[in-house]
Structure formats: structure tokens, C-alpha cells
């Protein structure tokens, strides 16, 4: 292994880290990689990457280190003993509190820190379909454009509040897991009722197609602070959830997620919002949180 300086270090070689390192190499950047299980680096070494014996060493070898590990606990453990001056861009998933902790941890060690959130799957990295959000110090984002553009042609800077990218990622992940979980539950209900999954899929796709208009309408309602009960109300949503929960119980499909969701709607209905639209639930939940 040589120990020449590189243009970029990539820490973590899961599916996403491998895609990032591969995109850096494809863009012509000399790349040093590190992974807890070094064997995963072999295909990248064949493509010209260097392998560092530790994350701290990889950080020393390049002007910018891109980190993409399972979670923030893994980042802390991988970088135990690392010191600045160095620049760390963390693209792994985590919530705002973890990002704030990481930024403080980095600052205490003289490491400059930019946070990022990857919104698209590993195969999109290095293609026009990649979307990556960044937040934190603007000078770091500007200084490392050549590397960041290897991952996504149009890296999006959201501002200097370091937690913003993670806040977007978590809210979008909320939408993703709740809607895909709902889709899986709906297929369970359909197949338990003897429906053909392919025939069901034809109609299920139509529900997804409603979301873009609803997202813009909810945003407008939240901005205006008014929640018209058209075309549907929280009261009717609660009744619909009761129907689906009963249907699930009738067919022997776990109705737990429906009861949990209905409990949220019902709290808003009991508080007097039953005649208002769904966006009121978003306002109700955030208001509830401030009164806890």
C-alpha cells in the first residue's frame, strides 16, 4: 500500500460508501478508502483506490473525508482518536440531535464538519438521478465542489444550520417508511381477501399519484394556518381507519398500525378538529409536542 496524498477519502464501504468511492474514482479523483472490514475494499483497490489502515489515517491522507457508515455511533467509534486539521463530510443517516453532537465532537478536535443527506439509492450515485443535500459551513461546501459533484451533479446546499439536511432526510424517511409500510399492509389485506396482487397494483398506483398535489396543498394550508375540510376531514379519516382496522381483524391481518394511526386522528377529533382537513393533524401534532 502506498501512502501518497489523495484527493478524497471515503470512510465506510457498505453499498452506499462503495458507490461514493466508485464515483470518485470514475471522476478521476485519487481516492483512499477505509472500512472496518477491509476485504470489502478489494474491487475498489482493483480500480486504483488506496486502502488506509484506519479511519484516522484516511482522514490524514486527503483534504476531505466523506464518511458513510451505518449510523453516528459507528462514525464516532471509527473516528476515535482522529484529530484535525481535517475536513469531514458525513453522508450517513441520523437525526438532528446526532448531527449537533457530531458537529460539536468534530469542533473539539479541530475537524471542520459538513453534514449531508443522500435522498436517492446507491445505484444513482454518480448519475443525474442522484440527489444529495448538504448543510453546515458554506466554505467547506464551496471548497470541495469537484469531489461533491462526482457524487451528484447538482449538490444542494441548504444553509449553514448544520442540522437542516438531516431534518429533511428524517421527514422524507418518515413519509417513505409510512407509505411503503402502508403499501405492504394493503397488499396483505388484498391478498388475504383473495385479490390478485397484479390486479390490485393497478389501483394502488393511483393512490400514490395523489400525493404530489396533496403535499403542495398541505404546505399551503400550513402556511395559511387554515385547514379546509375539503375534500376530506379528520373525522372521515378516523371512520375510514376504523373500517380498515375492522377489515384487517376480520381477515386475521395485524391491525396494529391502523389502531396507532387512528389514535392520532382521534386525539385531533376530540380536540375539536374533526371537520378540518388532514393538514390540521400535522399542526396538531407539532402543537401537542410544544405543550408536553
Residues lying near ligand NAP in the complex (CB under 6 A) are found at: 12-17, 35-37, 40, 68-70, 74, 77-78, 92-93, 118, 121-122
- What's the closest the beta carbon of residue 57 comes to ligand NAP, in angstroms? 14
User: Which DSSP string corresponds to 99-134?
Assistant: HHHHHHHHHHTTEEEEEEEE-S-GGGTTSTT--EEE
Name the residue nearer to ligand NAP (CB basis): 68 or 152: 68
Q: Could you give the C-alpha distances from 106 to 62, 99, 237, 291, in angstroms and in order?
A: 16, 10, 46, 34
Q: Which residues contact 168 (CB under 8 A, 6 or more apart)?
A: 117, 119, 133, 158
Nearer to ligand NAP, 38 or 235 (CB): 38
Q: Write down the least CB distance from residue 55 to ligand NAP, Å.
A: 8
Work out whether strand 111-118 and strand 132-135 pair parallel, antiparallel, or are unpaired.
Answer: antiparallel
Q: How far is the CB of 8 from ligand NAP (least distance, A)?
A: 16
Which is closer to ligand NAP, CB of 72 or CB of 218?
72
Q: How far is the CB of 124 from ligand NAP (least distance, A)?
A: 8
DSSP state of 230: -
Give the residue nearest to ligand NAP (CB).
14
Nearer to ligand NAP, 18 or 280 (CB): 18
Amino acid at each position: 500500500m502506498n501512502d501518497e496524498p489523495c484527493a478524497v477519502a471515503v470512510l465506510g464501504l457498505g453499498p452506499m460508501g462503495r458507490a461514493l468511492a466508485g464515483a470518485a474514482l470514475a471522476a478521476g479523483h485519487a481516492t483512499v478508502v477505509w472500512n472496518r472490514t477491509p476485504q470489502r475494499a478489494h474491487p475498489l483497490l482493483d480500480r486504483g483506490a488506496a486502502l488506509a489502515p484506519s479511519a484516522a489515517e484516511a482522514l490524514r491522507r486527503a483534504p476531505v473525508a466523506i464518511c458513510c457508515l451505518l449510523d453516528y455511533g459507528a462514525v464516532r467509534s471509527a473516528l476515535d482518536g482522529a484529530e484535525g486539521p481535517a475536513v469531514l463530510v458525513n453522508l450517513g443517516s441520523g437525526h438532528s440531535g446526532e448531527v449537533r453532537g457530531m458537529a460539536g465532537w468534530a469542533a473539539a478536535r479541530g475537524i471542520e464538519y459538513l453534514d449531508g443527506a443522500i435522498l436517492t439509492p446507491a445505484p444513482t450515485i454518480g448519475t443525474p438521478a442522484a440527489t444529495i443535500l448538504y448543510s453546515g459551513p458554506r466554505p467547506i461546501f464551496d471548497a470541495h465542489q469537484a469531489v461533491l459533484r462526482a457524487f451528484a451533479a447538482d449538490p444542494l446546499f441548504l444553509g449553514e444550520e448544520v442540522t437542516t439536511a438531516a431534518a429533511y432526510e428524517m421527514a422524507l424517511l418518515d413519509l417513505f417508511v409510512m407509505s411503503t409500510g402502508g403499501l405492504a399492509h394493503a397488499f396483505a389485506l388484498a391478498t388475504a381477501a383473495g385479490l390478485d396482487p397484479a390486479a390490485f397494483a393497478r389501483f394502488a398506483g393511483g393512490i400514490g399519484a395523489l400525493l404530489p398535489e396533496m403535499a403542495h396543498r398541505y404546505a399551503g394550508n400550513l402556511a395559511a394556518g387554515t385547514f379546509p375540510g375539503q375534500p376530506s376531514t379528520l373525522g372521515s379519516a378516523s371512520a375510514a381507519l376504523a373500517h380498515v382496522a375492522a377489515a384487517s381483524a376480520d381477515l386475521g391481518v395485524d391491525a396494529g398500525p391502523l389502531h396507532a394511526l387512528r389514535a392520532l386522528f382521534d386525539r385531533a377529533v376530540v380536540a375539536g378538529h374533526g371537520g378540518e382537513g388532514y393538514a390540521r393533524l400535522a399542526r396538531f401534532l407539532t402543537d401537542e409536542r410544544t405543550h408536553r
